Amino acid sequence: MRRHFHRIQSFAKKSLKVGAVVVVGVLVYKELSGNGNNVLHASWTTNYEPTVKWNSNWDRREPQSLVQPVRGGGDAEQADYHQKIDSQTPKTSRHLILIRHGQYFDNATADKERFLTSLGRAQAQLTGERLKELNLPYTSLISSTMTRARETASIIHKSLPHLKHVQDDSLREGAPIPPEPPLGSWRPEQKQFFQDGARIESAFRKYFYRANPEQTEDTYEIIVCHANVIRYFVCRALQFPPEGWLRLSLAHGSITHVTIRPNGRVSVRALGDHGFMPVPQISYS
């Protein structure tokens, strides 16, 4: 194995110079495991196993967890078992389009006074036009009950009038979980994390799951809510440490596109996309 490693290492050190560009091979080495299988390890890591393995049953909808396993049995029992697995297996994907509300008057004390600024209304209109331009088969428009989210969704609704606008109180802004590292200028009381965190986690479980087996086409749900909520959702959906949510940043009116595949795999197609907005109309606070 060591001779093989040095051979690859020597090869990788030979670079191909093209003008001012230097192309260097990626260094890997091959190890023969005890069972005779070849295992490749990248040169930049000493970890042979992932630090955190993907939990395929994160939404408690993995087909194998929904069907009683067969203990022994003949061919007929096995065939029946696999038929039940197939009947519980989704065939389509769910797409969640998460929209942060537009800029609002954040110095007001009451929520009813925290309505959108003129810039925030322009941002919401641009977001609605962008969603219409994408021409996806949207299936629903849901928003938080807070004034800035409701107003943003109402403006988006003008671009997508065929959708019914539904409000959900669990999508309100809040403090999902104490961030790591802490932010010195923002320190809510622990009871706020305790209360908001449970509500925001319940919203995650309400909207993030693989499609039902009966679903025949992909669904595209637009959810207009808040930066803290979206950032927490993304960390949870990707099974990243949720306390890292505050390390992400989202512009007003930005679009985050999360896809949940039939097998439960989750991918983020866009995170805080605001490239459709003119530079003078981009804001974060």
Question: What's the pLDDT score for residue 17?
Answer: 45
Residues 205 and 136 in one domain: yes
Question: Are the C-beta atoms of residues 98 and 230 closer than 8 Å to each other?
Answer: yes
Using CA atoms, how far apart are residues 210 and 230, in angstroms rounded to an integer? 18
Residues 249 and 127 in one domain: yes
Domain membership of residue 11 as a residue range:
2-42
Residues 38 and 113 in one domain: no
Positions of E strands within the chain:
16-18, 21-23, 28-32, 38-42, 94-100, 138-144, 165-168, 219-225, 255-260, 266-273
What angle in degrees, to the nearest 10, is found between the helix axes of 227-237 and 190-207? 60
Residues 188 and 272 in one domain: yes
What CA–CA distances, in Å, run from 159 to 137, 155, 207?
A: 13, 7, 23
Other CB atoms within a 10 A radius of the CB of residue 43 amount to 13
Question: Are the C-beta atoms of residues 252 and 117 closer than 8 Å to each other?
Answer: no
Please calculate the CA angle 227-228-234 and round it to the nearest 5 degrees.
90
Asked whether residue 47 is domain-assigned, the answer is no
Residues 120 and 241 in one domain: yes
Asked whether residue 68 is domain-assigned, the answer is no
Is the dihedral angle over the CA atoms 270, 263, 50, 26 positive or is it negative?
negative
Look-up of token digits 């993907």: 54
Residues 221 and 146 in one domain: yes
Question: What's the pLDDT score for residue 87?
Answer: 87
Asked whether residue 25 is domain-assigned, the answer is yes
Asked whether residue 52 is domain-assigned, the answer is no
Between the two ends of the chain, the Cα-to-Cα distance in Å is: 56
Using CA atoms, how far apart are residues 99 and 160, in angstroms rounded to an integer? 14
Residues 17 and 147 in one domain: no
Asked whether residue 76 is domain-assigned, the answer is no
Residues 131 and 27 in one domain: no
Asked whether residue 121 is domain-assigned, the answer is yes
> Nearest CA to 247 among 225, 273, 227?
227
Look-up of token digits 């969640």: 96
**Judging by DSSP bridges, how do beta strands 28-32 and 165-168 pair with one another?**
unpaired
Other CB atoms within a 10 A radius of the CB of residue 163 amount to 18
Residues 125 and 236 in one domain: yes
Asked whether residue 197 is domain-assigned, the answer is yes
Per-10-residue mean pLDDT for the chain, 285 residues long? Answer: 47 45 46 55 62 90 87 76 86 97 93 95 98 97 98 98 97 94 76 89 97 95 98 97 95 98 96 97 94
Using CA atoms, how far apart are residues 239 and 260, in angstroms rounded to an integer? 13
Using CA atoms, how far apart are residues 249 and 174, in angstroms rounded to an integer? 16
Residues 31 and 125 in one domain: no
Q: Which tokens in the block code for residue 222?
A: 């637009």
Q: Residue 82: helix, strand or coil by DSSP?
A: helix
Beta bridge partners, 166, equal 142
Question: Are the C-beta atoms of residues 99 and 127 closer than 8 Å to each other?
Answer: yes
Residues 108 and 38 in one domain: no
Q: Which CATH number covers residue 167? A: 3.40.50.1240
Question: What's the pLDDT score for residue 34?
Answer: 52
Asked whether residue 205 is domain-assigned, the answer is yes
Say how many domains are in the chain: 2
Question: What's the pLDDT score for residue 108?
Answer: 87
